[in-house]
Amino acid sequence: MSKLHLLSIFLVAFLVSLPSRVCGQRTPIPPGIREADKQTNAPIEPPATFKQKPVEPGVLRQEAEELAKLSAALPSQMDQVSQGKIPKDLGDELKRIEKLAKHLRAEISR
């Protein structure tokens, strides 16, 4: 066989072994990819705005008075603690003081 015949046989074998996409055929795109592209390129909605309820001065005053009353009782309760006597409602009162203080601070800083 001549070199030309060997070269043409080699070339045909090479072209047959090429993947179909190199020869001009396109591979199918999975349906999920197209849907994801649509969602990625979709316009972004503006963030939702929440209406803040107005500050109620009467409620704030009542909470401030309760906070003052609970705080005024603390020194005598601390005296009892130093004597080894822990009032049974001390933990609950301290939690209530903390909750009232956080709420008042949040309402004032709005």
* Tens digit of each residue's pLDDT (9 = 90 or more) over 21-51: 455 567 777 777 777 777 777 677 888 887 7
Domain count for the chain:
1
Radius of gyration of the chain (CA): 39
Q: Report helix angle 57-82 to 90-109, nearest 10.
A: 150
Nearest to 107 by CA among 49, 54, 66: 54
- Residue 96, in any domain of the structure: yes
Full-model pTM: 0.52
What pLDDT score does 18 carry?
Answer: 63
- Residue 105, in any domain of the structure: yes
Residue 95: which domain range?
Answer: 57-109
Tokens of 33: 């990819």
What's the mean per-residue pLDDT of the chain?
A: 83
Over residues 56-69, mean pLDDT: 94
